[in-house]
Structure 1
Amino acid sequence: MTKPWEQTPAWRCRWVTCPEAGRPPFVTMYRCTFTLSEAIRVRIHVSGDERYELYLDRQRIGRGSERGDRSNWFYETYEVEIAAGEHQWIARCWALGTYKPWAQASVQPGFLLSPEEEALEPLMGTGIARWETKPMLGYQFIPTPSGIGTGAKLDIDGVAFDWDAMSGEGGGWVLAQPGEDVVLRANNYHLSSVQRLMRPAVLPAMQEVRFYPKTVRYIAEAGVLEAGSQPIDTGRDLSEEHAHWSGLLTGNPVEVPAHTRRRILLDLGDYYCLYPELVVSGGKSAFIRLHWAEALYEGETSERKTKRDELAGKWFRGVGDTFRPDGGAFRKFDTLWWHAGRYAELIIETGSDALCLEELRLLETRYPLVMEGAIHSSDERLNRAMAVSFRTLQMCSHETYMDCPYWEQLMYVGDTRIQSLVTYVSTLDDRLPRKALEMFNASRNNHLGLVNCAYPDQTGKHISTFSFWWVAMVYDYALWRGDREWVRHLMISVRDELERLLSSRAPSGLVKLPVAWNFLDWQTSDNEAWSHGEPPAGPDRLNAAYNLLIVHVLELTAKLEVYLGEDELASRARRKAKELGDRVQMMFWNEQRGLFADDTDHRQYSEHAQVLAILCEGTDLERSRRLIPAMLQGDDVMRTSIYFDHYTLEALAASGYGDTIMDRLHPWLHMEEEGLRTTPEIFLAETRSDCHAWGAHPIYHFYTNMLGIRPASMGFATVVIRPQPGPLTCLRGKMPHPKGFIEVKVEREGEDWMIDIQLPQGLPGTLVWSGKDCVLAEGRNRFQFGIK
């Protein structure tokens, strides 16, 4: 009996390389011409290091490889109908070396195509069939500014560029050089010292949908030098040319005369992640620069961004690419990787030849994430905030979750936990959360044996608080999705992670902050005790929030152990949580203030410590009741930022302070006034990132704390609905569940609250209202409660 294809120990096809490419950065082309005697359906497996684009007869089939690491190197599978006759595979591959994105892994540049049917290997399999290759000239790679980790941008010289190669034509092709064997991740032995452990891609293809910019906002007679040294001067706006340049918005040609300089600012109308393609004719020796920005800045060197809809007097500072036409007709300039932002700056300088911009094509790219349910309230500001929050999640969802699409494009644990929770309530598609959990688990293969704070990532950074949030992510998956055996596999790492982190003890029994970047949250006010997001601690390196986080996670771990039937381990986790929790209450509690101090000297206070204390089930009940009022009234208490507000909202709801949730959402309700189309990294003028999906959590809280829909047991086997509408007079939502939709409507009618709940078949539940438990039946449930 033949083994399934994916279980074979190794493939006959091999990786191939370009022998003339030299050292990265470079772009290479590969081609393979083959002939079929009859039409067939071909199933192929494709990968590239670092990246590839695959074409069949000049039509793009796909992009890859899905982002992973050396031990999780993904390959894409394509099924293609191919007619009888001669055909050609073409692949454009690139390796940027030290210029590659921070999140991009690499082992050795190369390309791989393996047909699943062995008989087709001599026709098209790399390392077996006749594959030819050559370096692509004309690319110059421009490093990005400090702090931007998206990889080098391009300066493409159309004169040197090999336009025929993109069609698989022209001269200079040489035989591709066979490289290393293909090693599957399932193998338990090694075939070479340079290898990737390969596995099938776990995500669908990224979405690519064409869209058009919304409007031309500004046109000036200026070139690169003037644009870089001038703010937007609306007095110089060539308003009479707006109609002419608006052809770019609809895909129509725009003529640019010889000896012309123009600076055009396009407003996309929303935040986008996009692949640009610019098709031009003529314009030999012209210069075209296309840059992208999230927003404009208040000054030439200022980091302040306010009123994003306003341009006058502001500075455009973006990143992007440069294109230099050779004078040919219908030359298509494109990029290797996508860009992000809301604004585009197009600068054109023509020489003695006129230039025709035939078409500007913009393709929105992202993970194909859609809101499967629906949410709506009586407050239109909140409804708009929900739409902006979900847009942010979409923009930060690609081959991994990302903290931000414009700056780093890294999957951080702290961000990803929140992104995953928003995903659970929005859709049944949990492939991104599962991949995130797997990749963070894989990141533990380092000198510390601990989860990297961001992964994939070349730097290998560690943040101990994020290690604990990763454990919480495992709990979240078990609660919202189940899959007991997969969770059991992850628990091996969970237990080891906790044992390593708990080993750094002070004589008091408290856990010391590691000598590392102990990020907890961005500070929201000037306080020298906080630095770069690290909470206060004295020379003893003891901090209340850090220890309370550990207590909280130990409690979650105990629930995971119970779910897996490991009662002894659950008892151990609970015992450790109680012991540590008792020490925290002894060392940090300030009876006079009714608060937990941040440090053992009781000099610093933050909402973070109080929030985590409330989330800990073992916190003394009387103390817990005092925390919220004392926390909200304390003038010297460090407030949580947009990120940690997620946990603040959880604590408010858990403490019965649902009426205050809308107050806490104030910054989200006023994003429109600042022109924000996505949630920022922090609600300050210096946001850095204008698109940060850790701020998308209001969607989660609308569902779980305002409508009150939550799993009541692991795997969402049962549901509890505990609405807290606060000042809203009506809110309704439809949450996707593996058994159907959970629909809840809460509406005030006169002196009564009307609650309408629809449960799918096979999902038992409970409604909690004013301290009363009401059993819910399958199907429709209606309740009427008087307003007290």
Structure 2
Amino acid sequence: MPGNTGTEYGIYYFRKSITLNAKPSTFKVHVSADNRYKLYVNGQLVSIGPARGDNYSWNYETVDLAPYLKSGNNTVAALVFNEAQFRPVAQVSFRTGFMLQGATAAEDIINTNKTWKCTNEKAYLPYPGWFPIAASKGEIVDMNKLITGWKTTDFDDSKWTAAEELFEALPKGRGDGFGWMLMPSLLPQMELTDQRISTLRKATGINVPAGFPKAKVAITVPPNTVVKLLLDQDTLTNAYLNLAFSGGKGSSITMRYAETLYEKRTEGRRRKGNRDEVEGKDFLGRADSVISNGKEGQAFTTLYWRTFRYIQVTIRTGEMPLTINDLYGTFTGYPFRLKAKLNSGDEELKSILDIGWRTARLCAIETYFDCPYYEQLQYIGDTRIQALVSYYNAGNDTLARNAINQIDGSRLPEGVTQSRWPSNGNQVIPGFSLWYIGMLHDYWMYRNDESFIKGKLAGERAILGFFEQYQQADGSLKDVPFWTFADWVNGHGWDGGNAPKGADGSSSVLDLQLLYAYEWGAEMEAKLGMPAYSDLYRKKADQLKQTIRKKYWSEEQQLFAETSERTSFSQHANTLAILTDVAPEKTWQALGNKIMNDSKLAQCSIYFKYYMHLALAKAGFGDQYLSWLDVWRDNIKLGLSTWAEEPDPQVSRSDCHAWGASPNIEVYRTLLGIDSDAPGFQKVKITPHLGKITNISGTIPHPNGNIDVAYSYTGTKWNITIDLPQKITGTFVWKGKDHQLKQGKNSFIL
């Protein structure tokens, strides 16, 4: 937009009309913008983007416009917006800009240049206030100022100005890297599915017609009236909100969005109570607001999607009545398709999987992120678990590859990664860099794509090189900088997510994470990288293992301590001791019992229970798996439709944190027993932990097809069938005895 600095808040329209002699069979273009765009052809929405990245890897989408074009006159139009200082923390920006380029010479007629027209939309203002803390702002839209019809072919743009050319948009590696280093997005377009709002919970100031809002039912608000409607989606969702209305010149319509309602404040953090209950509670949440111009057929759609279970609609009319013609959402998310199946008579377990899948979907759009409502940031600790949910439930690794690329590109000169990326602000959690090495190892084991991981080993070496700077002569870490977050733990000497450190600056939790990463690194280097690195990491791992045993083992408590003073103990340290084999196998049972039953230990949150459950299954307690799910049962009892972030869901900030979706891995990997036993999932190991279950079956997607298992007890014998994809073999472990598996169907009566 001419005269625009590119750094201020603004909404801009760009359009160009072209004449085609015939409808083309294909018409591919590359398109991108800063911050974001919505692309239309002849009034139809065809693309939203770009997928979030950073200036060093700025995404562009490739879109075929042919289905939307026709013989004769056509208009391609784009809405581009820059939220400037109000943009989400996850949104990186160079300056406002828009690019569209034909994929071949046949489409060059549409390239962005001075033949495009543009204008600045003056109807928008950012909604005042600072809520939520890291996600995008709401909007105030004055329909009296809004330009309408600009997407269509017959719109008169003669008074619009010619667009200004900034500089040539170049792919990464071409040119000096100024501006945006353009990369083709790995991702498909996000899902867009219309979604009716389920329930009207309250209405004041009006009698609402039957059927609203589940059905398209008009509501007319009389003049000089204030109306409040409390709407309930019944489950949390991510959606663009769509509002159609007429009349009511000067009337305002404000929509507030919330995950839940809050109990009246007494002291400390507000409690949420049961999420299904609304009486006597306060509504707190972000907002959008629209001012009516009084005309018929007005329409508003949010620039970006909103997260909500509850919507509070406040309507204030002036001298004219206002009619709400429709109000609904358009759900959006990464287009995952659930392929895993569980057949069980346990309805509670199926409900846990349903809620976990919803949680995982709401935390995955153009990146994985911790939570959709508050932050929308791709944290490594969360993302490792989310990627495994994607592998086990959808058999999809595209978003995981995107995440690995982005995290790898976030590394600082010291070698450590950012804790979350993309982001317009720095944050470093060194332990998350170690979990990133775990992400690489997971991908290597579960997805058949060795070359992708081979290309990431330089980053793994850089991370381990960073930690080497802080290792003492015995291998133990001392005074690791930045935020050494490990888990949200209440009390027990933990502070702000940091495990206790001893007087010498060391922590067993961080030492054990480093050991784990050395073990993963050694395995990957031996097969994909350099044997010298594998040997080095094995030596460092062996040294660190001996140091941890000597430094942190308490003979008195028969536990691994958190510090060399051996005065504080946690589930975390002992979990990691089992997983890394620091704890000798003969001690696993005793340690497992203490992890499960010693309430004096610092307790794992819903996040770190993923690792704790892995350790308990390894220690031989897998048959007790269903008894470990009480925190998820408590969430259900409180009416949550997704999993809360923190140990106490009554005061948890976020009601939707995908790190809590780990049962969507564990039910298939621990209970049904299906796991990878070789890189690329080219061998399978199936070790079920059924406990008291006597009839259950399930399916997970595999890079070569599906893996199906079925277990049925007749009263005297077990009938077991295991169906493996082509070219896949493995081992079935039943009561400590190995049975070989071949490709195709395997049957056992045991």
Q: If the TM-score is normalised by the length of the shorter chain, which range does it land in?
A: over 0.9
Aligned to 2:31: 46
Instruction: Return the letter of the residue paired with 2:103.
Output: E
Aligned to 2:471: 505
Tell me the distance in 2 between the aligned counterparts of 1:270 and 1:633: 34
| Residue 176 (structure 2) pairs with residue 176 (structure 1) | no
| Residue 727 (structure 2) pairs with residue 770 (structure 1) | no
Following superposition of structure 1 onto structure 2, how do residues 190-205 of structure 1 map, counting pairs within 5 Å?
190=176, 194-205=178-189
Tell me the distance in 1 between the aligned counterparts of 2:255 and 2:678: 52
Aligned to 2:21: 37
Tell me the distance in 1 between the aligned counterparts of 2:141 and 2:529: 60
Tell me the distance in 2 between the aligned counterparts of 1:23 and 1:647: 44
| Residue 454 (structure 2) pairs with residue 454 (structure 1) | no
Q: Contact between 2:643 and 2:660, CA under 8 Å: does it hold in 1?
A: yes
Structure 1 position 309, deviation (Å): 0.6
Q: Contact between 1:248 and 1:254, CA under 8 Å: does it hold in 2?
A: no
Structure 1 position 242, deviation (Å): 4.2
Q: Contact between 1:401 and 1:410, CA under 8 Å: does it hold in 2?
A: yes
| Residue 235 (structure 2) pairs with residue 270 (structure 1) | yes
Structure 1 position 447, deviation (Å): 4.5
Tell me the distance in 2 between the aligned counterparts of 1:415 and 1:407: 15
| Residue 724 (structure 2) pairs with residue 740 (structure 1) | no
Aligned to 1:574: 538
Q: Contact between 2:410 and 2:417, CA under 8 Å: does it hold in 1?
A: yes
Following superposition of structure 1 onto structure 2, how do residues 269-418 of structure 1 map, counting pairs within 5 Å?
269-300=234-265, 302-418=269-385
Following superposition of structure 1 onto structure 2, how do residues 414-453 of structure 1 map, counting pairs within 5 Å?
414-444=381-411, 446-453=412-419
Q: Contact between 1:182 and 1:196, CA under 8 Å: does it hold in 2?
A: yes
Following superposition of structure 1 onto structure 2, how do residues 678-689 of structure 1 map, counting pairs within 5 Å?
678-684=642-648, 685-689=650-654
| Residue 624 (structure 2) pairs with residue 660 (structure 1) | yes
| Residue 96 (structure 2) pairs with residue 109 (structure 1) | yes
How much is the aligned-residue C-alpha RMSD, in angstroms? 1.7
- Alignment counterpart, residue 80 of structure 1, candidates 38, 46, 65: 65
C-alpha change, 1:363 and 1:278, in structure 2 (3 Å) is same
| Residue 477 (structure 2) pairs with residue 477 (structure 1) | no
Q: Contact between 1:596 and 1:609, CA under 8 Å: does it hold in 2?
A: yes
| Residue 597 (structure 2) pairs with residue 633 (structure 1) | yes
Aligned to 1:235: none
| Residue 629 (structure 2) pairs with residue 644 (structure 1) | no
Aligned to 1:520: 486
What stretches of structure 1 of length at least 5 have no aligned partner?
1-16, 222-237
Aligned to 1:691: 656
Aligned to 1:556: 520
Tell me the distance in 2 between the aligned counterparts of 1:117 and 1:485: 30
Tell me the distance in 2 between the aligned counterparts of 1:162 and 1:50: 21
Q: Contact between 2:491 and 2:602, CA under 8 Å: does it hold in 1?
A: no
Structure 1 position 183, deviation (Å): 1.4
Q: Contact between 1:513 and 1:543, CA under 8 Å: does it hold in 2?
A: no
Aligned to 2:110: 124
Cα deviation digits, residues 218-272 of structure 1 (max 9, x gap): 1123xxxxxxxxxxxxxxxx7xx2445x433212322111111111011112111
Tell me the distance in 1 between the aligned counterparts of 2:479 and 2:393: 36
Q: Contact between 2:257 and 2:308, CA under 8 Å: does it hold in 1?
A: yes
Tell me the distance in 1 between the aligned counterparts of 2:93 and 2:12: 16
Instruction: Return the letter of the residue paired with 2:200.
Output: V
Aligned to 1:612: 576
Structure 1 position 513, deviation (Å): 4.2
Cα deviation digits, residues 376-407 of structure 1 (max 9, x gap): 33321111101100111111110000100000
Q: Contact between 1:589 and 1:596, CA under 8 Å: does it hold in 2?
A: yes
- Alignment counterpart, residue 713 of structure 1, candidates 667, 672, 678: 678
Q: Contact between 2:142 and 2:290, CA under 8 Å: does it hold in 1?
A: yes
Comparing 165-174 with 386-395, which one deviates more in the overlay?
165-174
Structure 1 position 626, deviation (Å): 2.6
Following superposition of structure 1 onto structure 2, how do residues 751-766 of structure 1 map, counting pairs within 5 Å?
751-766=716-731
Comparing 23-32 with 715-724, which one deviates more in the overlay?
23-32
Q: Contact between 1:659 and 1:726, CA under 8 Å: does it hold in 2?
A: yes
Cα deviation digits, residues 393-431 of structure 1 (max 9, x gap): 111110000100000000000000000011111122210
Aligned to 1:466: 432
Tell me the distance in 2 between the aligned counterparts of 1:691 and 1:166: 36
Aligned to 2:691: 726
Aligned to 1:487: 453
Instruction: Return the letter of the residue paired with 2:91.
Output: Q
Tell me the distance in 1 between the aligned counterparts of 2:331 and 2:499: 39
Tell me the distance in 2 between the aligned counterparts of 1:709 and 1:647: 17
The sequence identity of aligned pairs, in percent, is 31
Structure 1 position 61, deviation (Å): 1.3
Tell me the distance in 2 between the aligned counterparts of 1:18 and 1:98: 21
Q: Contact between 1:279 and 1:359, CA under 8 Å: does it hold in 2?
A: yes
Instruction: Return the letter of the residue paired with 2:616.
Output: L
| Residue 566 (structure 2) pairs with residue 602 (structure 1) | yes
- Alignment counterpart, residue 591 of structure 1, candidates 544, 549, 555: 555
Tell me the distance in 2 between the aligned counterparts of 1:784 and 1:116: 59
C-alpha change, 1:171 and 1:152, in structure 2 (3 Å) is farther
Cα deviation digits, residues 635-682 of structure 1 (max 9, x gap): 320110100000011001111101332121112234332111111112
Tell me the distance in 2 between the aligned counterparts of 1:183 and 1:453: 29
Structure 1 position 147, deviation (Å): 5.1
Q: Contact between 1:544 and 1:584, CA under 8 Å: does it hold in 2?
A: yes
Q: Contact between 1:537 and 1:599, CA under 8 Å: does it hold in 2?
A: yes
Structure 1 position 23, deviation (Å): 4.4
Aligned to 1:542: 506
Tell me the distance in 2 between the aligned counterparts of 1:470 and 1:518: 15
Q: Contact between 1:303 and 1:688, CA under 8 Å: does it hold in 2?
A: no
Tell me the distance in 2 between the aligned counterparts of 1:737 and 1:258: 61
Comparing 710-719 with 421-430, which one deviates more in the overlay?
421-430
Comparing 747-756 with 599-608, which one deviates more in the overlay?
747-756
Q: Contact between 1:18 and 1:110, CA under 8 Å: does it hold in 2?
A: no
C-alpha change, 1:623 and 1:709, in structure 2 (3 Å) is same
What stretches of structure 2 of length at least 5 have no aligned partner?
none
Cα deviation digits, residues 5-40 of structure 1 (max 9, x gap): xxxxxxxxxxxx443577410001111112122222
TM-score (structure 1 length as normaliser) = 0.91
Instruction: Return the letter of the residue paired with 1:281.
Output: S
- Alignment counterpart, residue 252 of structure 1, candidates 214, 217, 223: 217
Cα deviation digits, residues 52-111 of structure 1 (max 9, x gap): 111111111111111111111111111122222111111110111111111111111111
C-alpha change, 1:476 and 1:109, in structure 2 (3 Å) is same
| Residue 76 (structure 2) pairs with residue 89 (structure 1) | yes
Comparing 159-168 with 497-506, which one deviates more in the overlay?
159-168
Tell me the distance in 2 between the aligned counterparts of 1:322 and 1:703: 45
| Residue 58 (structure 2) pairs with residue 57 (structure 1) | no
Aligned to 1:11: none
Tell me the distance in 2 between the aligned counterparts of 1:531 and 1:171: 62
TM-score (structure 2 length as normaliser) = 0.96
Structure 1 position 164, deviation (Å): 4.4
Aligned-partner SS, 2:423: coil
Tell me the distance in 2 between the aligned counterparts of 1:461 and 1:169: 48
Tell me the distance in 2 between the aligned counterparts of 1:436 and 1:277: 30
Instruction: Return the letter of the residue paired with 2:645.
Output: E
Aligned-partner SS, 1:113: strand
